[in-house]
């Protein structure tokens, strides 16, 4: 097993990785920016290194500073968490060429899945269902218009190098496409340094379902069930649950088999997620993208499958067998995760500030993965996620009841937060029925 681990991230995910590392007797090393010096993950690590000012480009995305911190502390491995450098293939290669262990998939897999068009084509060749769309970038507006006419409106205009719900727009006709194409292309060039655009069929009433995969040290790829991620605002997730209330045992078999094929197609190792769109009217599903990292919502899978995914990541990176029997994976119970963000609960606009009160709920089936505590400051430099409230139980109904109690008991004063939204959602008939889709939040507003 790895003996020392540098966590190249911040907030709740850094704290969560550190917790497992210390449980396993691994020396945990944190890196932090000047803005994060007083956050819990810094003090909970065995050692912490300042890597730069608040600007992520000068700290958490500063590969040179991260590697220097690893060298100065004698770290044996680097875990990137999610975001920042986690899906940067060049950084993964540099880590390994420096003689360190990269706790994630190989750089080739990251590269293959990082471009949405390339990923679509790879998946189609592997027999994974893909939505109707372009197989090459729409090089100009006329090409995009012609592609959309062939695919049929409405269409999704997507940045080929995008991710996390960013760089996407919907066009219901040619006039809208002309506007969205220019907007997405400009955004993609600014944010990702790549203006390539993909045109896909858009499904107005669709569910977002993803499968957790794990590429084992012996070369096998296994699937640890699915997660429902359809409660979203601006194409970004707010709530995830497992198992999905929309997935029957037969459909689950098809989902998991397709996800395993996706992983095998790129020789996948370590944790990853195959994201799909599910048409509830036909039970057809289509590959959306593969996230070549640990997901924010991984805890719901941990509860339902009885595993610690960070531990499994570390075992794979160490060349060790998993703690579970790959041939006996089966879901048990139910879990729901709510992302507690520093944002307005109505318009979902960021609302940073000083945390004056922070009281976490407790009780059976209640877990809080938090990045902050009382006295900390939520700054505008990073994502608005403050904590994840994860509720587990024997049934979905039991979990929802526990979630109501936990949301009511969670006290946060200072930054704006979206706890009132979750209180509303947990009484929403569409959500309670389980028959919701990605439009549920807009219908609530």
List the catalytic residues.
293
Q: What angle do CA 304, 217, 303 make, to 5 degrees?
A: 10
* Three-class DSSP labels, the chain: CCCEEEECCCHHHHHHHHHHHHHCCCEEEEEEEHHHCCCHHHHHCCEEEEEECCCHHHCCCCHHHHHHHHHHHCCCEEECCCCCCCCCHHHHHHHHHCCCEECCCCHHHHHHHHCHHHHHHHHHHCCCCECCECCCCCCCHHHHHHHHHHHCCCEEEEECCCCCCCCEEEECCHHHHHHHHHHHHHHHHHHHCCCCEEEEECCCCCEEEEEEEEECCCCCEEEEEEEEEEEEECCEEEEEEECCCCCCHHHHHHHHHHHHHHHHHCCCCEEEEEEEEEECCCCEEEEEEEECCCCCCHHHHHHHHCCCHHHHHHHHHCCCCCCCCHHHCCCCCEEEEEEEECECCCCCCECCEECCEEECCCCCCEEEEECCCCCCEECCCCCCEEEEEEEEECCHHHHHHHHHHHHHHCEEECCCCCHHHHHHHCCCHHHHHCCCCCCHHHHHC
* Residues 6+ positions from 190 with CB-CB distance below 8 Å: none
Question: Is the N-terminal amide bond of 243 cis, ω within 30° of 0?
Answer: yes
366-370/377-378 β-pairing = unpaired
Distance (Å, whole) CA 310 – CA 18: 10
Other beta carbons less than 10 A from residue 429's beta carbon: 8
Distance (Å, whole) CA 396 – CA 434: 9
* Alpha carbon 185 to its chain's center: 23
């Amino acid at each position: 097993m790895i003996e020392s681990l540098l966590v190249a991230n911040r907030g709740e995910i850094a704290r969560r990785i550190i917790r497992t590392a210390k449980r396993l007797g691994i020396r945990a090393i944190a890196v932090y920016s000047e803005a994060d010096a007083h956050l819990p993950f810094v003090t909970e690590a065995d050692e912490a290194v300042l890597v730069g000012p608040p600007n992520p480009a000068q700290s958490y995305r500063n590969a040179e500073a991260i590697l220097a911190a690893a060298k100065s502390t004698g770290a044996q491995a680097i875990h990137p968490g999610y975001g920042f450098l986690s899906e940067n293939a060049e950084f993964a290669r540099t880590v390994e060429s420096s003689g360190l262990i990269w706790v994630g998939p190989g750089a080739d897999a990251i590269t293959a899945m990082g471009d949405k068009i390339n990923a679509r084509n790879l998946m189609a060749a592997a027999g994974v269902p893909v939505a109707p769309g372009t197989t090459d970038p729409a090089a100009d507006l006329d090409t995009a218009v012609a592609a959309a006419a062939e695919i049929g409106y409405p269409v999704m205009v997507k940045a080929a190098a995008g991710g996390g719900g960013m760089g996407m727009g919907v066009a219901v006709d040619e006039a809208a496409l002309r506007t969205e194409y220019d907007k997405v292309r400009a955004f993609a060039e600014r944010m990702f340094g790549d203006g390539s655009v993909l045109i896909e069929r858009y499904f107005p009433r669709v569910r977002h379902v993803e499968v957790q995969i794990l590429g084992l040290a012996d070369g096998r790829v296994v699937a640890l069930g699915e997660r429902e991620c359809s409660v979203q605002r601006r194409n970004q997730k707010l709530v995830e649950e497992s198992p999905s209330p929309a997935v029957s045992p037969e459909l689950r078999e098809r989902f998991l088999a397709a996800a395993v094929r996706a992983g095998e197609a790129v020789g996948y190792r370590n944790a990853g997620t195959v994201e799909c769109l599910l048409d509830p009217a036909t039970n057809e599903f289509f590959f959306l993208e593969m996230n070549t990292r640990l997901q924010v919502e991984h805890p719901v899978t941990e509860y339902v499958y009885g595993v610690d995914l960070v531990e499994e990541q570390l075992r794979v990176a160490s060349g060790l067998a998993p703690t579970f029997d790959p041939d006996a994976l089966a879901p048990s119970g139910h879990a729901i995760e709510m992302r507690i963000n520093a944002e307005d609960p109505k318009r979902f606009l960021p609302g940073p500030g000083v945390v004056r009160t922070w009281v976490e709920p407790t009780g059976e089936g209640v877990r809080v993965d938090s990045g902050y505590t009382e006295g900390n400051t939520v700054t505008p430099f990073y994502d608005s996620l403050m904590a994840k409230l994860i509720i587990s139980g024997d049934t979905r109904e039991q979990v929802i009841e526990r979630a109501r109690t936990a949301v009511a008991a969670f006290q946060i004063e200072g930054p704006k937060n979206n706890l009132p939204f979750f209180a509303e959602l947990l009484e929403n008939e569409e959500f309670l029925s389980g028959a919701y889709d990605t439009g549920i939040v807009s219908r609530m507003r």
